[in-house]
Structure 1
């Protein structure tokens, strides 16, 4: 199912595409949410072989972002970006549902 409530930025799509090309995997980034981290929930990223039947799928520049239904409740409306800075390079989630976050940007609270 396609839905515009989750967005992969062009810079994140380019990074996923580059990683997929190096590893020989499909250009599919899975975003999931797990309990833990500094603020209660933390984001998990990984390459997926294929979307699962119940996943929400969003596509940018030929790269798919997939999220399971349970995680989607916590990340609906998000933008996944790839940011490079002096501190390093990382995928970053801009989450309008988060009421609090941590300095590292990898965990949040709702």
Structure 2
């Protein structure tokens, strides 16, 4: 595999687990809107080198990368996409914690699970 082939694989996008897709689908049904997608973005910072933002978005931005998982659209802006190639999003619901977790092979380190924030929060 050449370097360019590896880049193509790495930038292939996010992987949404079945549990995460089901939770997103449930939240979208509660919102009562079919025009929303789950937008995932990254910013530099945090102990892993990346801070994640997950929120519902109706916008379509130039250069967005869109993938669909069991009827759920996941959108990533063109600046965040290279940092999220191969990242997997799961939903955990246990006695200890509940929420979305992100396992990202592109993160430089690790200290805790990512906790999604409300949009604007």
Same fold (TM over 0.5): yes
Q: Contact 2:49 / 2:109 at 8 angstroms: preserved in 1? A: no
2:33 to 18, 21, 25: 25
1:1-43 deviations in whole A, cap 9, x for unaligned? xx85321111111111111111123351110112333333211
TM-score, normalising length from structure 2?
A: 0.75
Partner secondary structure for residue 99 of structure 1: coil
Number of residue equivalences: 104
**2:6 — aligned with what?**
none
Partner secondary structure for residue 70 of structure 1: coil
Q: Compare the two structures and name the one with the higher strand fraction.
A: 1
TM-score, normalising length from structure 1?
A: 0.81
**1:5 — aligned with what?**
13
**Where in structure 1 are there 5+ consecutive unaligned residues?**
none
Residue 96 and residue 38 in structure 1: after superposition, are their counterparts in 2 closer, same or farther (change >3 A)? closer
Higher alpha-carbon Rg: 2
* Runs of 4+ with deviation above 4 angstroms: none
Q: Contact 1:31 / 1:67 at 8 angstroms: preserved in 2? A: yes
Q: Contact 2:41 / 2:52 at 8 angstroms: preserved in 1? A: yes
Residue 39 and residue 94 in structure 1: after superposition, are their counterparts in 2 closer, same or farther (change >3 A)? closer
Instruction: Please list, as runs of the form range in 1=range in 2, the aligned pairs for 1:4-83 lying within 5 A after superposition.
Output: 4-26=12-34, 27-83=36-92
Instruction: Please list, as runs of the form range in 1=range in 2, the aligned pairs for 1:86-101 lying within 5 A after superposition.
Output: 86-101=95-110
Q: CA separation in 2, counterparts of 1:38 and 1:87?
A: 22
Q: Give the RMSD, CA atoms, in angstroms.
A: 2.0
